[in-house]
């Protein structure tokens, strides 16, 4: 009867690993570098060796292990195959469980890292206690992860929850990274907020703390907290786009909770106060009853969610 | 070992019933009136009696029955409880399996009728062969049903797939039935197409077959088929809204196929030719690979899907 689970979150720079007991408690966490040379062929062997070393260190036998969960940056199918490879890692198409099992014959499951992080937030983070959740990551871009009845919504091509590319604005003139115009990501990501700020500042000469120094999502929300009127207008525009976008998502998947994470979410609860009014304005009323929560696990969401894949 | 399944689709006027074998073949179908008096208290007993009568007629024993599936017009939770009752039937909160089992002790499952119809289309209709599907019903309103990995996406409050109320248009002046403005349903339903047609016709005096007689979704698409330029413009506006809305849905749930049904879909394949260009314009490219198909089962989708609930 297994007692332990390993959660593995493979990133472009480091691989994060966590050892959990079956009560979902994080007993230990550590990192190893991501060696991308030669098509990233060492990454999974390095993961396996690191786990074997930890087992020796802790006196854990193979029979004590429930399984290993893995989050990886790319589309992963139900069998754990990276269907399109992983550009960030140098990987072509490969099957994660198959490779890890060459080193350690225990159950292995793998899924997309953003979806895995969403699962982690539901399991032990901002969405704890819920089974229908949408995780929204406001970072350089806008990512999403959708959990339905406790399971990741992977989608036909592994692109479920790509809410950052919902079309929001017909009048946009600049291109999104995806080559379309008017995606949610162009207004609600960290870089999107900077764009909104620059546009607002160019409209007139109204004094603002944002007119000096570099503009970032942080300086905008610091300005909001300091009562800067221009910063508040920018936050309102951001919130109008994001609340409207999440209302569209709510009509589709009808979640119990939105969990907002990523760098922009460091602004704290005040962020939610700009999203909710717009959400309520646009949402279909049977889908209105939804909580907004901040993500809690930060960079550990990936290892938690990876562990949740096998528990 | 069970051989037969009953599929039951409860509507406001009639209850449709179907007898299927376990190979998913429809062996018999019939209807009974929906008796709404006294809070609809006779509806489920009438269903049970009709099934018992059919069993007697066909010589089917209780042990031959795999189960009964039921679609009902309202939000239904995982246990088969109508959580908000059903206004159309006069029902308050009640549990469908519990009541039917008083008459016939076999497995019973129930779900929302639109979602059940979607499941039917996936099982034996336009979505056959797929496991990730969005059904879009273009009738008086715009309904939707989402199937993920072969299962209905019910949502937190039974409102999963309510894509007709995705906000599409900031400049709308008229109210949708839901009391918001600018919902997809205001442009893509049968009544929405009539609205678009009247607006277009009021813009100028360009000759059109639509200037005589009553306008309906049918007369618009008949006009399109006859090469009427104004009708084509109206269909383009309709397609622009619907394609854009479905692109938003595709970013969220990444389906393999959209199955388009309801009265408007009687226009046939030509309908799809107005939806696809807009869909492709707005969709995130990893979600682009999706089929568009017409619904095939018509009014039988409900009994097929109800049967699929228990097979």
Q: Which of A157, A254, A282 sits opposite B155 (nearest CB)?
A: A254
* Angstrom distances, CA of residue A71 to CA of A15, A40, A84, A119, A263: 10, 15, 15, 11, 20
Q: What is the percentage of chain B residues whose pLDDT exceeds 90? A: 91
Q: Which chain A positions have a beta carbon within 8 Å of B149's beta carbon?
A: 151, 154
**What tens digit of pLDDT does each residue of B56-77 get?**
999 999 999 999 999 998 888 8
What number is the average pLDDT over the span A131-151? 94
Q: What is the DSSP letter of B283?
A: S
Please tell me the least confidently modeled range out of A88-92, B215-219, B294-298.
A88-92
The nearest CA of chain A is from the CA of B10 a distance in Å of: 22
Asked if B134 and B145 touch (Cβ cutoff 8 Å), the reply is: yes
- Residue B182 has phi, psi (to 5 degrees) of 95, 15
Contact assignment for B166 to A285 by CB distance below 8 Å: no
Q: Which residues contact residue A14 at a Cβ distance below 8 angstroms, ignoring those fewer than 6 apart?
A: A31, A32, A33, A34
* Cβ atoms of B251 and B287 closer than 8 Å: yes
Pairwise CA distance, residues A184 & A239, whole Å: 11
Given CB atoms, is B259 within the 8 Å cutoff of chain A?
Answer: no
B73 interfacial to chain A (CB closer than 8 Å)? no
| Topology alike, domains B4-121+300-310 and B129-295 | yes
Count of beta carbons in the 10 Å neighbourhood of residue A29: 16
ipTM: 0.90
Q: Which two three-digit tokens encode residue A21?
A: 């007991």
- Cβ distance of A180 and B249 shorter than 8 Å: no
Tell me the three state secondary structure of residue B116.
Answer: helix
Tell me chain B's radius of gyration from C-alpha atoms: 21
Whether B40 shows a pLDDT value over 70: the answer reads: yes
Chain A partners of B157 at a C-beta cutoff of 8 Å?
A: 254, 286-287, 289
> What are the contacts of A234-238 at 24+ separation with CB within 8 A?
A234/A193, A234/A196, A234/A197, A234/A200, A234/A210, A235/A274, A236/A274, A237/A187, A237/A196, A237/A200, A238/A187, A238/A188, A238/A192, A238/A193, A238/A196, A238/A274
Alpha-carbon distance of B180 to A284, in angstroms, equals 8
Fold of A4-120+300-310: Nucleotidyltransferase; domain 5 (3.30.420)
Rounded CA gap, A291 and B228, in Å? Answer: 49
Every domain of chain A and the residues it spans: 4-120+300-310, 129-295
Number of Cβ pairs < 8 A linking chain A and chain B: 136
A248 touches chain B (CB under 8 A): yes
From chain B residues 129-168, the ones with a CB under 8 A of any chain A CB are 132, 144, 146, 148-149, 151, 153-163, 165-167
CB A186 within 8 A of CB A167: no
pLDDT higher for B84 or A116? A116
Angle in degrees, 0-180, between the axes of helices B217-225 and B190-203, rounded to the nearest 10: 60
Terminal CA-to-CA distance of chain B, rounded, Å? 13
The domain defined by A129-295 carries CATH number 3.20.20.80 = no
Contacts of A148 in chain B (CB under 8 A): 148, 153
pLDDT number for residue B185: 95
pLDDT, one tens digit per residue, over A176-228 is 988 999 999 999 999 999 999 999 999 999 999 999 999 999 999 999 999 99
Question: CA geometry: angle at B289 spanning B286 and A245, to 5°?
Answer: 55
SS3 assignment for chain A: CCCEEEEEEECCCEEEEEEEECCCCEEEEEEEECCCHHHHCCHHHHHHHHHHHHHHHHCCCHHHEEEEEEEECCCECCCCEECCCEHHHCECCEEHHHHHHHHCCCCEEEEEHHHHHHHHHHHHCCCCCCCCEEEEEECCCEEEEEEECCEECCCCCCCCCCHHHCECCCCCCCCCCCCCCCECHHHHCHHHHHHHHHHHHHHCCCCCHHHCCCCCHHHHHHHHHCCCHHHHHHHHHHHHHHHHHHHHHHHHHCCCEEEEECHHHHHCHHHHHHHHHHHHHHCCHHHCCCEEEECCCHHHHHHHHHHHHHC
Provide mean pLDDT across the span A107-124. Answer: 95
Q: What is the CATH number of domain B4-121+300-310?
A: 3.30.420.40
Grade residue B159 by pLDDT with cuts at 50, 70 and 90.
confident
Question: Per-residue pLDDT averaged across A131-138, rounded?
Answer: 96
- From the CA atom positions of chain A, what is the Rg in Å? 21
Q: In this structure, how many other beta carbons lie within 10 angstroms of the beta carbon of residue A113?
A: 25
Query: C-alpha distances in angstroms, A195 versus A174, A215, A274, B12, B22?
Result: 10, 9, 17, 52, 58
The whole-number pLDDT of residue A74 equals 85
Q: Which residues on B lie below 8 Å from A158 (Cβ)?
A: 254, 286
Chain A residues in contact with B179 by the CB 8 A cut-off are 285
CB atoms near residue A168 (< 10 Å): 21
At residue B1, the pLDDT reads 65
CB contact under 8 A, B254 and A156: yes
Report percent pLDDT > 90 for chain A: 90
Residues 6+ apart with CB under 8 A from A59: none
- Reference B254, options B278, B298, B287, B277; nearest CA is B287
Q: Do B156 and A244 touch (CB under 8 A)?
A: no
Rounded to two decimals, the pTM is 0.91
pLDDT digits (tens, 9 = 90+) for B23-39: 999 999 999 999 999 99
Structure letter (DSSP) for residue B176? P
What is the average per-residue pLDDT within A262-284? 96
A86 — pLDDT class (breaks 50, 70, 90)? confident
pLDDT at residue B84, rounded to an integer: 83
- What local confidence, expressed as pLDDT, does residue A1 receive? 64
B32 has which bridge partners? B15
Residue B161 has pLDDT above 90, yes or no: yes
B255-295 confidence digits (pLDDT tens): 999 999 999 999 999 999 999 999 999 999 889 999 999 99
Nearest CB partner across the interface for A253, out of B75, B153, B179:
B153
């Amino acid at each position: 009867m297994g007692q332990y689970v390993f959660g593995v979150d493979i990133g472009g720079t480091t691989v994060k690993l966590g050892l959990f007991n079956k009560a979902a408690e994080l007993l230990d966490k550590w990192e190893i570098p991501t060696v991308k040379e030669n098509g990233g062929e060492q990454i999974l062997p390095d993961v396996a060796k690191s786990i074997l070393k930890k087992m020796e260190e802790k006196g854990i036998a193979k029979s004590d292990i429930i399984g290993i969960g893995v989050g990886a940056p790319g589309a992963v199918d139900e069998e754990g195959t990276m269907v399109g490879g992983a550009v960030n890692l140098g990987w072509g198409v490969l099957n994660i469980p198959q490779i890890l099992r060459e080193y350690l014959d225990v159950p292995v499951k793998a899924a997309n890292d953003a979806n895995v992080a969403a699962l982690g937030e539901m399991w032990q983070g901002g969405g704890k206690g819920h089974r229908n959740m949408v995780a929204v990551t406001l970072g350089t871009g806008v990512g999403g992860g959708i959990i339905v009845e406790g399971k990741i919504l992977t989608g036909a091509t592994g692109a479920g929850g790509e809410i950052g590319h919902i079309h929001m604005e017909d009048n946009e003139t600049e291109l999104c990274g995806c080559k379309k115009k008017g995606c949610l990501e162009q207004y609600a990501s960290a870089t999107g907020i900077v764009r909104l700020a620059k546009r607002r500042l160019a409209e007139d000469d109204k004094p603002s703390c944002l007119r000096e120094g570099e503009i970032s999502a942080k300086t905008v929300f610091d300005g909001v907290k300091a009562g800067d009127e221009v910063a508040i207008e920018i936050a309102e525009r951001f919130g109008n786009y994001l609340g409207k976008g999440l209302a569209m998502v709510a009509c589709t998947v009808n979640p119990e909770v939105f969990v907002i994470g990523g760098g922009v979410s460091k602004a704290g609860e005040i962020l939610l106060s700009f999203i909710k009014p717009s959400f309520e304005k646009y949402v279909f009323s049977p889908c209105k009853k939804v909580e907004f929560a901040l993500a809690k696990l930060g960079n550990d969401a990936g290892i938690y969610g990876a562990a949740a894949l096998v528990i």
